[in-house]
Amino acid sequence: MGSRASGIRMIVAALIWTGVTGGAFAQDKPDAEQLRKMYDSALETLKAAQDSKNALATENDKLNVRVTDLEKQLQASRRELAERDRETFFLRSYYAAWQRFMERYPNLKLRWDVFLKAPPLGQPSELPDVSDPNWPLSAAGE
């Protein structure tokens, strides 16, 4: 950093000297004290700019870490969403198959409806007999 600081000092001095000699024709040369004040002022400005640059770099590093964390969270959320989509598809297709099955067997659907209407913690009750095991013979005898 020592050679960099001396390089900066040389640049500042050159800029100050150029400014001083450029206007020397119109005014008197500034004395050493004025040059020293201008030099110190330029150094303070450069130091403030460097400090600001370092602060911004630190803040940028913090923001990069935050972005990385948010990207990881996003990827985890996307994986979870994909898993939920697979589960939802499975449950919907299973439910659709169940509905088709119940449409095919109306007597079983009646039993299912009775089961659903029963209280969940109530005593088990007898299901009504909705089918006649002797159906072809009993219908012929009427």
Task: Specify if 68 maps to a domain.
Answer: yes
- Give the chain's domain count: 1
Residues of the domain holding 80: 32-116
Task: Specify if 70 maps to a domain.
Answer: yes
Across residues 64-88, what is the average pLDDT?
95
In angstroms, rounded to a whole number, what is the distance separating the alpha carbons of residues 20 and 77? 63
Whether pLDDT at 9 is above 90: no
In angstroms, rounded to a whole number, what is the distance separating the alpha carbons of residues 27 and 29? 7
Task: Specify if 111 maps to a domain.
Answer: yes
Whether pLDDT at 23 is above 60: no
Give 112 or 66, the one with higher predicted confidence.
Answer: 66
pLDDT tens per residue across span 83-122:
999 999 999 999 999 999 999 988 888 888 888 887 776 6
> By three-state DSSP, how is residue 90 classified?
helix
Task: Specify if 126 maps to a domain.
Answer: no
What is the pLDDT confidence band of residue 79, given thresholds at 50, 70 and 90? very high
